[in-house]
Amino acid sequence: MDIFFEGPVMWAQLDANMHMRHSAYADFAAQARLNMLDKVGIQARDLVALHLGPILFREELIYHREVGPNDYLKVTCRIAKTKKDGSRWSIRHELFRQDGVKAATINVDGAWMDTAKRKLGTLPPELQQRFSTLPLTEDYVEE
């Protein structure tokens, strides 16, 4: 299992029903993605220096089981789909509670944006090579 984030659910991440609020799931997934990129040597500060940033076109959250106060979560990330040049990509995240139960699946579709030009961009070859080493889903598709 490719775990890229582990941590407790904090009080501020709960809703009035005493379970994790919907936007907290997206926050956990975003942190896991950043950690995943960092693990292969694509650091946020490097992307800023290159005027590149990840953007999302779609984010789908599928809730499987409730997450409550002080639950401890593990978040996996795997690449589900990419364009051959890595300019667009899809990532599947799975959030597991401390008891091993899958609490949610989060699917995102994204791309790289040139933040200076405000247009879609691509990673430089060295970073694209690193990106291509990220773990893949069993049903991975290259377009």
Q: What is the pLDDT along the chain (143 residues), one digit of tens a residue?
A: 799 999 999 999 999 999 999 999 999 999 999 999 999 999 999 999 999 999 999 999 999 999 999 999 999 999 999 999 999 999 999 999 999 999 999 999 999 999 999 999 999 999 999 999 999 999 999 99
Predicted local confidence at residue 19, as pLDDT: 95
The reported pLDDT for the residue numbered 68 is 96
pLDDT at 80: 98
The Cα–Cα gap between 135 and 143 comes to 17
pLDDT score, position 1: 73
Please tell me the distance from the alpha carbon of residue 1 to that of residue 69, in angstroms, as a whole number. Answer: 24
Nearby residues of 89 by Cβ (< 8 Å), 6 or more positions away = 79, 81, 82, 83, 109, 110, 111, 131
Model-level pTM?
Answer: 0.95
- Domain 3-142 sits in CATH 3.10.129.10: yes
